[in-house]
Amino acid sequence: MAKDTLKGLNVAILVTDGFEQVELTEPRKALDEAGATTKIVSPKHQRVRAWNFTDWSIELPVDVDLDQAKPEDFDALLLPGGVINPDSLRIEPNAVAFAKAFFDSGKPVAAICHGPWTVIETGAARGRRMTSWPSLKTDLKNAGADWVDQQAVLDKGLVTSRNPNDIPA
């Protein structure tokens, strides 16, 4: 992305412990380089811990506590995957409501790997063409999505990708 392409846009990155490190750090780097302001929003207070493929990894500061985050303060939402992170977020009512507000207002949302689990909980998967980590295929189909095996899919403001290797797409 060109520098300042996204200048003035505020992007929420909704995570809790166990997000896949590269699924947050690489998109965040690209967004920041394009001029966006990114904020980590989390039900965890102060810090969140990354998972790096097979083990715990870095900790990152939480910029906005989920219970104080307002979707109207953001222009877009990023949902990194990792197995632990979205599995925890999807049973957190405030996280689901926060994500749902982006869909309800037509704001762009990106979900990587297992991130679509949170999309399922919002009800926004129905009628959308989506991709994900292969193990979510049945979950997405059961939620009414048209699952496809592609690097990245854009449908009605939702961008989904399969895994960390697809992030450049």
- Residue 1's pLDDT is 63
Ordered structural domains, the chain, with CATH = 10-166 (3.40.50.880)
CA 36 to chain centre: 16
Phi-psi region of 82 (alpha: psi -120 to 50; beta: other; left: phi over 0): left
Position 148 scores a pLDDT of: 98
Question: What's the per-residue H, E or C state across 91-108?
Answer: CCHHHHHHHHHHHHCCCC
Q: Would you state the pLDDT for residue 31?
A: 97
Q: For residue 89, which of 48, 137, 144 has the smallest C-alpha distance?
A: 48
Helix (H, G, I), strand (E, B) or coil at 44: coil
Q: What is the pLDDT of residue 168?
A: 87
The letter for the amino acid at 140 is L
pTM comes to 0.96
Gap between the Cα atoms of 25 and 148, Å rounded: 25
State residue 4's pLDDT score.
Answer: 83
CA 68 to chain centre: 18
Q: What gap in Å lies between CA 115 and CA 89, rounded to an integer? A: 9
CA distance 10 to 65: 16
Which residues have a catalytic role annotated?
A: 113-114
Which ranges of the chain have pLDDT less than 50? none
Radius of gyration of the chain (CA): 14
